[in-house]
Amino acid sequence: MRRGARAAAALLATATALAALVACTPKEAPAPNRTPVTEGVAADLVGYYGQDVDWDRCVGGGEGTFYCGTVTAPVDWSDPEGGDLELAVIARMASGESQGSLLVNPGGPGASGVDLVQGSAEFAVGETLLEHYDVVGFDPRGVGSSTPVRCLDAEQMDDYLFALPRAARGTPAWEAELTARNDRFAEACESGSGGILPHITTADAARDMDLLRGVLGDEKLTYLGYSYGSFLGATYAELFPDRVGRIVLDGGLDPSVPGSEVGARQAVGFESALGAYLTSCVERTENCPFQGSVDDARTALADALAAVEATPLTATDGRALGADAMVMGIVSALYSEGNWPYLTGAITAALEGDADPMFVLVDSYYNRSDGVYLDNSTEAFSAYNCMDYPADPPDVEAAADALVAAEAPTFAPYWSGVDLCASWPYPPTGTRGEIHAEGAAPILLVGTTNDPATPYEWSAALAEQLSSGILLTRVGEGHLGFNKGNACIDDAVEAYFVDGTVPDGDITCE
């Protein structure tokens, strides 16, 4: 987000940023052990689809039986002879009779599906689906334990993300300084990633997902995608409509929206979420750091951002909390209503000169702990977005900036920056346009009305575009809608996955 790439297709921040790595023990009975499906696969790809996976029993959080393995995929799907990469996979076997594999993706781009299933399967899909499906998490190409995008070490990443520019914001010297910083980052990604950067795209990842479907022995894809994972799932449906089984896309992205507008709409979404938080704070929170009306609170927060922009606070670890970092901390907390008490504490501390609590929120976004980055999600996020989103014409960028200024005034002074993707070593190959997936089986979309990261109108638009899209609306706050305590949404999704029950039409769940 902001300054990272042309689009800000949001990371699933604090709730699903998991630190654990898969620890494998000696191999037991191989599982899942269904026969790979190679029907309809091109001759030069049969070897990939028919490969045997060396499944090992591995450790996972909570109850359940876990197996981990790696699947080999071509780096370049258009030239399978050009080299291979590895995809890390984990399967949590069904606690009851399995109906097959349910692939899950937690978003990002750049979040680890292996970590999600290993450490938080109950949170991700719930007990009902864990009973009926082998829940399969995978790290998309470039991510985590798969063949990764590698750019900077921890010290260099801190410098890239948190070092304060010497020049004043918005000046030519400021732009030159940030451009040079972006150049160094992009060069490091190119030198450290083993030639995979041109092929870190959502289209390539969707083809990888079809490979996993075949290797796992499923005729059709059953899939649950969150946030960016909705774009991955919709891309899959466009490429392979005849292989769509049961697909749920939670927190949709509108694939027709230009990259600049994606970031702008997210700014507006977070401003709306900020308004909901400030309303709750001033009306119901005894220790709210703001007094008066919501407008008064918004003005006070804007003043606090301007103050740390002028005179940054120094955290215990030496990092400087300027406006950019403070905005990131606020945004990180606004993903979920459950984070609001932590945001209150962090803002209160910052107003008293203590930067540490705000950096806890910042670090949760970047999955950073004690100076260590626990994954490569920030690097993979940049790689995907720079390849997926073409540069926008100046008038589109200007319209996006105007939208942020008009509808996200608290964040507007700090939202725009120098585009990393202008420094990327490869031109983007992705395009922006509607996705229809003609001929696909019914696909459910879940949208939350005040979702700050994937605004509700995106889910509604994607449901309208898809030839078989059905929209489930969760009226409420926060990012995503399934497994968020709304029985109406949860029952509809579970009935669809377990019994194949397709709603008669769109549903609104209060």
In 109-201, the DSSP E strands lie at 134-138
Active-site residue (options: 112, 459, 479, 490): 479
Active-site residue (options: 101, 120, 193, 227): 227
Is 227 annotated in the active site? yes
Give the integer Cα–Cα distance in Å for 483 and 491: 10
Q: What are phi and psi of 356, to 5 degrees?
A: -60, -50
Is the distance from CB of 129 to CB of 494 less than 8 angstroms?
yes
Give the integer Cα–Cα distance in Å for 266 and 401: 12
Cα 74 → chain centroid: 24
Residue 471's DSSP bridge partners are: 445
The neighbour count for residue 294, using CB atoms within 10 Å, is: 18
Candidates 102, 91, 144, 117; CA nearest to 16 is 117
The neighbour count for residue 28, using CB atoms within 10 Å, is: 11
The H-or-E segment that residue 177 falls in is helix 172-192
Q: What are phi and psi of 18, to 5 degrees?
A: -105, 145
Active-site residue (options: 139, 324, 375, 451): 451
Residue 472's DSSP bridge partners are: 446, 507
Residue 247's DSSP bridge partners are: 223, 443
Candidates 15, 76, 7, 30; CA nearest to 338 is 15
Q: What are phi and psi of 113, to 5 degrees?
A: -75, -25
Query: Of how many residues is the chain composed?
Result: 510
Is 369 annotated in the active site? no
Tell how many helices (H) and how many strands (E) occur in the chain.
16, 14
Is the distance from CB of 248 to CB of 493 less than 8 angstroms?
yes
Give the integer Cα–Cα distance in Å for 110 and 119: 17
Is the distance from CB of 339 to CB of 452 less than 8 angstroms?
no
The 3-class SS string of 184-222 reads HHHHHHHHHCCCCHHHCCHHHHHHHHHHHHHHCCCCCEE
Owner of token pair 């083993």? 194
Give the integer Cα–Cα distance in Å for 268 and 149: 31
- Which residues form the catalytic set? 227, 451, 479
